[in-house]
Structure 1
Amino acid sequence: MRRPLSVVSIVSVAALLALSACGERDQTLAAGRHKSPDEPWRGAQNAFVAKTWTPTDKAGWETQLRQRAQTQNEYNKTN
């Protein structure tokens, strides 16, 4: 014969489940972490930059981003 669960045991299990989420640590990034202090169009001055772009050229940077996005556009690839 099985004993029915008492109200106290049900409440205590529910309280344990509710409090278990309190131990989870914060998963957001710290403010300012993983951010560059400079503008992205300042860029690296090495051989890995696009040949048609010069560092500190904001308009050229935006043009390069648009062109790269269009080469990844599946509608342009299939049509």
Structure 2
Amino acid sequence: MIARVLIATFALAALAGCADREQTATGVKSDQPSFAGTGAPAPYALADWKQGDKASWEQQLRARTQRQNEYVRVNQQ
């Protein structure tokens, strides 16, 4: 009896995976690179970054990463 319940449970769990809906990002242009920006002025964006400039985008990411690096934060003079 327990075996039948377990088999039925596993069968239902397997079928539940078949009902998964397609996940899409609606309203987001996924073909645009991140450094391109949104085109709208962003009050929270740093002044050094210019939308569409890949070099300044990468420089900002490096700077942000260094501020999150615990070794650099602890050993700053």
TM-score with structure 1 length normalisation? 0.67
- Residue 16 of structure 2 is matched in structure 1 by 23
Match of 2:34 in 1: 40
- Runs ≥4 in structure 1, deviation > 4 angstroms? none
Indicate the percent of aligned positions where both proteins have the same amino acid: 30
CA RMSD of aligned residues (A): 2.3
Structure 2 unaligned regions, length at least 5? none
Higher relative contact order (CA 8 A, sep 6+): 2
Q: How many residues are treated as equivalent by the alignment?
A: 69
The correspondence of residues 1-79 of structure 1 with structure 2, limited to 5 A, is 9-21=1-13, 22-24=15-17, 25-26=19-20, 29-30=23-24, 33=25, 35-36=28-29, 37-44=31-38, 45-46=40-41, 47-79=43-75
The alignment's TM-score, normalised by the length of structure 2, stands at 0.68
